[in-house]
Amino acid sequence: MSQLIFSIFLLIFFCACSNTTPNNTTISSKQDDQATATKVNHKDNTLQPNVKADSLISSVFLMGKFDYRTHPWFVKVPAGMSNREIYIQKETLEAFSKMHEAAKKDGISFVIISGTRNFTDQKAIWENKWSREIVTHKTHKATALKILEYSSMPSTSRHHWGTDIDINSLVSSYFKTGKGAEEYAWLVKNAKKYGFYQTYTPKDKGRTGYSVEEWHWSYYPLSRKYLEQYNLKISNKDITGFSGCETASEIDIVKNYVNGIEAFK
Ligand SMILES: [Zn+2]
């Protein structure tokens, strides 16, 4: 009889233990699931959509091999803000319009004189300069470096992205005195409030690449993403299809020119 009672006790004891262990496991597993779910939700709500959107930015786009006149992200700049038919990204235009309006209240007038240029446009500029410069420079590398003082190789221009604009003049001296100096001072002081910044500042602090361009302003909220994707997806060997393109690797065009920019501050 006592053996029977002992057996029943053992049975109850083991049943209790076997319930405890799975329950603990279940709780711990639920906690893990909740933690995972939180992480997943956090990603879904914040990071993931951007990561997804950024990963859709193609090499073709980044290298300017598309028609901005028909691309859905691009719009024509209204006549009052440009001096000819110019396209930029809608978001860039919205930010520029606000900056344009604010400057106007301060008696400053801004006109976009260059916006989006695709691979074909940039190739025309490059080839034109190439045919001129090749006559006076001994090597392809020297010819390319001369052109690269102010002009990009096709596939490497920030103007491909619809985020970068040239304002008022393409001559440095214009911004040194009088009206030009006032306009430049206004931009230096205020452009960042609207997301714009000067990418090609003086090179004395170690920036590589193009010469200083007081007229070239970049819409950072978009161009930041494109540069990030460019560095992930494009290398020197992808820069092809124009005179002297074989110099891209020798010059290390992606490191020294595409990334030869001022930091946004
Ligand atoms: Zn420019």
CB 211 within 8 A of CB 151: no
The 3-state DSSP class for residue 71 equals coil
| Ramachandran angles phi, psi of 31, nearest 5° | -60, -40
CA gap 66, 160 in Å, rounded: 9
Contact status, residue 256 vs residue 153, Cβ threshold 8 Å:
no
Q: At 154, is the secondary structure helix, strand, or coil?
A: coil
Distance from the CA of 255 to the center of ligand 1, in angstroms?
Answer: 18
DSSP run (H or E) holding 100: helix 90-105
CA dist 178 and 174 (Å) reads 8
d(CA 3, ligand 1 centre) in Å: 95
How are beta strands 112-114 and 196-198 bridged, if at all?
Answer: unpaired
pLDDT in tens, 38-82: 333 333 333 344 555 777 899 999 999 999 999 999 999 999 999
Question: Is pLDDT of 105 > 90?
Answer: yes
Provide, rounded to the nearest whole percent, the portion of the chain with pLDDT above 90: 78
Query: What percentage of residues in the chain have a pLDDT greater than 70?
Result: 80
Distance 102 CA to ligand 1 centre (A): 22
The alpha carbon of 208 and the centre of ligand 1 are apart by a number of angstroms equal to 16
Using the mean position of ligand 1's atoms as its centre, give its distance from the Cα of residue 136 in Å.
25
Contact 64, 74 (CB under 8 A): no
Q: How far is the CA of 66 from the centre of ligand 1 (A)?
A: 19
Which residues are CB-neighbours of 64 under 8 A, at least 6 positions away? 117, 118, 119, 121, 122, 154, 155, 157, 159, 160, 161
| C-alpha 105 to ligand 1 mean position (Å) | 25
The predicted model scores a pTM of 0.80
In this predicted structure, what is the pLDDT of residue 54?
Answer: 78
CA-atom Rg of the chain in angstroms: 29
Q: What is the mean pLDDT of the chain?
A: 85
Query: Per-residue DSSP letters for 169-213?
Result: -S-GGGGTSHHHHHHHHHHHHHGGGGTEEESS--GGGS--SSPP-
C-alpha of residue 212 to centroid of ligand 1, in Å: 11
Residue 142 C-alpha to ligand 1 middle, in angstroms?
22
The residue-averaged pLDDT of 216-227 equals: 97
What spacing in Å lies between the alpha carbon of 89 and ligand 1's midpoint? Answer: 15
Distance 165 CA to ligand 1 centre (A): 6
Q: How confident is the model at residue 131 (pLDDT cuts 50, 70, 90)?
A: very high
Q: Over the stretch 142-166, which tens digit does the pLDDT of each residue have?
A: 999 999 999 999 999 999 999 999 9
Average pLDDT over residues 189-218: 97
- 61-82: b or e for each residue (b if 16 or more CB lie within 10 Å)? bbbbbbebeeeebbbebeeebb
- The CA 158 to ligand 1 mean position distance, Å, reads 8
Measured in angstroms, how far is the CA atom of residue 239 from the centroid of ligand 1?
Answer: 19
Centroid of ligand 1 to alpha carbon of 178 (angstroms): 22
